[in-house]
Structure 1
C-alpha cells in the first residue's frame, strides 16, 4: 500500500492515475454521522489482479479541498476513465456529485441480478466479498472508527486498502453474472428459453400452491392458538378505513368552495359504464400507449417437453 500525505506526492499520484482506463475506488469519511462530514481518504486500485493491497494508493485529503478538487477534475470528471465504486452515490457526494462521468456502481449491478443467480438478501460489499471470495476474511470493525484522527492506525489503513481490493474482485464476478442475466436479446435462443420456462412453470405451480397453503395454515393455527410470533412469523393487526361520499355532494362542495378543482380524472371502465351515453358529449382527452404482452398457452402433462 502506498499511503500518501505529502501534497506534491499526491498531485503526482493523481496525474499518474489519470492515465488508467479503469480505477476501483473507495472513500473514508470523518464525522460521517454529523451534519458536516469531511472527506478523509481516497483509496485507489488500478490493478484488479492485486489481492493483497500492495499496489493500492491511499490519498490523505483530510481538510484539503484543493487536493480533492484536483482529483475530481482529473479523475472523476474524466469520461475516459471508468470509476468503479460500491454504493457510488455516497462516495460521489464528496467527489464531484453530479459532475462525475463514467461511474459504475457494484451495488446497482448486484441489485440488477435476479435472486436465482445471486441468492443474497443483502448486497453490501462485505456480504458480496464473502460470497464470491470465501478465502478472504473480511473485518468491518474499523469502518466506524474515527477517520478524523491523525495519525491513522495501521488497522485503519489496512482496512481502507483492502476495501478496493475486495471491490475489484467483486466487480469481476458481478460483471460475468450481469452479462449472464442480461444477454443480447438478438442472440437469445428462444427455443431453449421456452423449454426452461416450461420446466420451471411446472415446478413453480406446485410450489406456489403449497407455499400459499402453508401460509394460510400457519396464520389460522396462530390465530386459533393465540400465538402472535414464532420462528420469524408475526401476526400484526391491521385496520382499513374506506371513505366514501355521494358524487353529487362532492360536486356541490367543489362548486361552493373557492379552490381550483380543475384536475383530470381517469375514467375507469366502471365509471364509463355508469356515465353511459353522456360520455359522448364530454370533451374527453385520450392518451393511447402501446406495449407488447406475452401470452402463454397452457400445456397438458402429455405436452410437456421434458
Structure 2
C-alpha cells in the first residue's frame, strides 16, 4: 500500500492510472455530518493484489486541485471502469454527473435474487463476509476523525482494506450475474420446469405459514397491548382518501373555470354503463400483452396442484 501525501507524487500516479482499464475506488470524508471534506481517495488497480504498487491512498484533504485532477483524468474518462460500493455517495465528491463508466456493487448485489445471495443487508461488511474469505471485519474506523493529521495506522489499514473488500465482492458478483440473468435463448426449459415443481409445494407451505404467523403476531400484540418485542415493532398508519362523484367534479371544474385535462381509464364497468354511446366518445386504445405460465397437470383429467404465475 502506498500512502501518498505529496501533491507531485499524487499527480504522477493519477496520470499513470489514466490508462487503466478498471479501478476499484473508495473515499473517506472528514466532517461528513457538518461540512464534508474529501480526505482520502483509495485506489486498487488489481483485484487480487494488495501490494504497494497496486494499492494507493491519496491524501487530498483540503487540496481541491488534486481532486479536480482525479476527476478530469479518471472519473470523467469513459475508457476506465470505476467500481464503487454505494457509488452515489462517493460521486458527490468525485465529479457527480461528470463521472462516466461507473459500476456500483450495491446496485449489482440488489439485482441478484435472494436465493443466490442470501444476505440480511447489502452493506460492504456483510457482502465481504458472505462472498469473500473475510472474517471479523472491523468498521469502527469508518466514523473516526478523517480530518485529523496524521492519520492513525488503524485508519490507514481500514482505508486500504475497504477497496480490497470491494474488489473481492465485485469479482464474486460478476460470477453470480450469469446465474441471476441467464440467456433466455439457451435456457433448459425442462430443467427449469422440474426445479419449479420441486419447490412450488414448499413455497406454498412457507408463504401460507408466514402470512398466518404475521396475522397472529399482529392480532396478539394488539390484544395484549404490546408495542414491540425483541423481534418486531407494531406500527400503524392512517390512510385518508377523498372521494367525490364524477358529476360533482365535472360541475365544480366548470363553475370554477379550471383547466383539468388528464386521461381516464374506462374500465369494463364504465364501458358497460356507456353502452353504444361509447362510440361517440374520442378514445385511445392501448393494447398490452400479459403472459402467464400455467402449470399443466400430468393427468389431463385433473387440475394441477401448482399455482399459475
Give how far 1:188 is off.
1.4
1:299–1:249: structure 2 CA closer, same or farther, 3 Å change rule?
Answer: same
- Cross-structure match for 2:20: 20
- Cross-structure match for 1:173: 172
How is 1:210-225 mapped onto 2 (pairs within 5 angstroms)? 210-225=209-224
Give how far 1:244 is off.
2.7
Give how far 1:164 is off.
0.4
Partner Cα separation in structure 2 for residue 41 and residue 238 of structure 1: 43
Partner Cα separation in structure 1 for residue 62 and residue 136 of structure 2: 32
Give how far 1:237 is off.
4.5
How is 1:242-261 mapped onto 2 (pairs within 5 angstroms)? 242-261=241-260
Give the SS at the match of 1:129: helix
Contact 2:128 2:134 in 1 (8 A): no
1:133–1:53: structure 2 CA closer, same or farther, 3 Å change rule?
Answer: farther
Task: String of CA shifts for 1:209-266, please: whole Å, max 9, x gaps.
Answer: 2333333334444445454443534444554444332322221111100321222222
1:167–1:250: structure 2 CA closer, same or farther, 3 Å change rule?
Answer: same
1:236–1:37: structure 2 CA closer, same or farther, 3 Å change rule?
Answer: closer
Partner Cα separation in structure 2 for residue 241 and residue 61 of structure 1: 51
Give the SS at the match of 2:27: strand
* TM-score normalised by L of structure 1: 0.89
Kindly tell me the number of residue pairs found equivalent between the two proteins: 303
- Report whether the alignment pairs 1:294 with 2:309: no
Contact 1:53 1:161 in 2 (8 A): no
Task: String of CA shifts for 1:32-91, please: whole Å, max 9, x gaps.
Answer: 112x32211110011211257784201111122221121112111222221111011111
50-59 or 164-173, larger mean C-alpha shift: 50-59
* TM-score normalised by L of structure 2: 0.89
Task: String of CA shifts for 1:158-195, please: whole Å, max 9, x gaps.
Answer: 11111101111111111111222112222211111111
Partner Cα separation in structure 2 for residue 298 and residue 223 of structure 1: 43
Give how far 1:137 is off.
2.9
How is 1:116-131 mapped onto 2 (pairs within 5 angstroms)? 116-131=115-130
How is 1:40-189 mapped onto 2 (pairs within 5 angstroms)? 40-50=39-49, 55-189=54-188
Partner Cα separation in structure 2 for residue 120 and residue 27 of structure 1: 24
Contact 2:44 2:50 in 1 (8 A): no
Give the SS at the match of 2:33: coil
Partner Cα separation in structure 2 for residue 217 and residue 82 of structure 1: 50
1:51–1:133: structure 2 CA closer, same or farther, 3 Å change rule?
Answer: farther
**Structure 2 segments unaligned to the other structure (5+ residues):** none
Give the SS at the match of 1:42: strand
Partner Cα separation in structure 2 for residue 14 and residue 131 of structure 1: 33
Give the SS at the match of 2:42: strand
Contact 1:222 1:228 in 2 (8 A): yes
